[in-house]
Amino acid sequence: MADADFDVLILGAGSGGYACALRAAQLGLRVGLVEKGNLGGTCLHIGCIPTKALLHAAEVADQARDAATFGVRASLDGIDMAGVNAYKDGVVSRLFKGLSGLIKGRGITVIEGTGRLTGPHEVTVGDTAYSGRHVVLASGSYARTLPGLEVDGARVITSDHALRLDRVPASVVVLGGGVIGCEFASVWRSFGAEVTIVEALPRLVAVEDEASSKALERAFRKRGIVFRTGTPFQSVKHTDSGVAVTVEGANGEQSVIEAELLLVAVGRGPVTEGLGYDEQGVTMDRGFVLTDERCRTNLEGVYAVGDIVPGLQLAHRGFQQGIFVAEDIAGLDPQPIDESGIPRVTYSHPEVASVGLDEAKAAETYGAEGIETLTYDLGGNGKSQILKTQGFVKLIRRKDGPVIGVHMVGDRVGELIGEAQLIYNWEGYPEDVAPLVHAHPTQNEALGEAHLALAGKPLHAHS
């Protein structure tokens, strides 16, 4: 295919697509990038970046509300949603401008419009067909709903609508106690709303270690966030003032929760329907594109990255896969990505962060006798006391082996996951980490002390 329009033709310019485009261009390949919306995709425009801006505004609100605890006289006069949204949109627009400039500066051809896969090496946008020696599918995800649950964008909303709200709702039912549900519940509670989370699974953030779920539930209870786990959703009706949500309790009895809004946060589905993947013979499973560990689909020269590939739906995973694919196409033979080594963070108050295996998975893999765990309480960490945050660092190691899981709860622990993922990905032993000097007083020290304790040199009490 020497006469193809591009060496790499990418369908979708979200985290996976644009990272692939930038790296491929850097490696001297001719790149075409197809995008129907704005460069940057979900993460930049309706995902990670705007939600974290809201969460930071929520943190500022909490600080104002609790200022007296620190001897500062301040009062919270209310939330100006127009001001919050202007701040959030400013962050997004600066990052968008930077990304657009980068893509332009690298000589990447941006093709605006909806692309469809019309041949194994062909993407059609409007009436024009473009060919690529390699094609990368990176079409991203959308906010899912449940069968029979009608999202109207006014009273029954998804995270997309929630980011555009011009007011703080008086009360909200959040359907789904995963990352997105917990983050919005946290924001709205900080802004003064009454919040009830409804989750069918037995605990909040069910993909995390059980100890992390319990700690988050304790903190939410203290904050007055109501949550009902093990509680399937039944139906929703509009009322004069909002919605009435019917749920099923543990014994099958039904109850109704009334609120102004229902946020549907039941996860994200792959955007693949109608894009020609099926017709071209790409192997799919329930809308997801199946790949091998090198992000290759079953079609020669066709790759897939990001949220359309089964696994963690995280921007940084898509980003890394995009870079991997560009390097693979350029013949650099990169190392496959270890999915367990991808850090995971829920940016609620408090935050939950983890990398590697949780205790249940570690015990299942190596046997309960084959692992050792240690939990270091943030009560022993000076900076956490200064910040008045509670939580822990929990480590899991293979008996006499490397650390295979790090789980943390507490304000700002998302910032500690960087060192934690190095320890996991470099197969560090507690004895390797224990002698490293951690600055004092930082929360980062808690990681250091936990490893000291796991290496048999405990300086504080731990469990």
Alpha helices in 252-396 (DSSP H): 315-329, 359-366, 382-386
User: Exposed, middle or buried by CB within 10 Å (0-12, 13-18, 19+), for 153?
Assistant: exposed
How far apart, in whole angstroms, are the C-alpha atoms of residue 200 and residue 424? 31
User: Which residue bears the tokens 């029979």?
Assistant: 148
Number of other CB atoms surrounding residue 412 within 10 Å: 19
Residue 337 to residues 180, 295, 320, 362, Cα–Cα distance (Å) = 25, 10, 8, 19
Query: Which of 134, 440, 460, 462 is flagged as catalytic?
Result: 440
Q: Is 161 a catalytic residue?
A: no
How far apart, in whole angstroms, are the C-alpha atoms of residue 23 and residue 38? 19
How far apart, in whole angstroms, are the C-alpha atoms of residue 438 and residue 422? 15
Tokens of 337: 């990505």
Asked whether 198 and 233 are in contact (CB, 8 A), the reply is yes
How far apart, in whole angstroms, are the C-alpha atoms of residue 59 and residue 25? 39
Helices then strands, counting H and E runs in the chain, come out as 13, 24
122-125/233-238 β-pairing = unpaired
Please write down the long-range contacts of 34-38, taking CB distance under 8 Å and 24 or more positions apart: 34/9, 34/10, 34/111, 34/113, 34/115, 34/123, 34/125, 34/130, 35/110, 35/111, 35/112, 36/112, 36/113, 36/114, 36/115, 38/96
How far apart, in whole angstroms, are the C-alpha atoms of residue 2 and residue 451? 54
Please list, in sequence order, all residues whose beta carbon lies within 8 angstroms of the beta carbon of residue 192, skipping any fewer than 6 positions away. Answer: 78, 79, 168
- Integer-rounded Cα Rg, in Å, for the chain is 23
Q: What DSSP character marks residue 142?
A: E
First to last CA, the chain: 62
Catalytic residues: 440
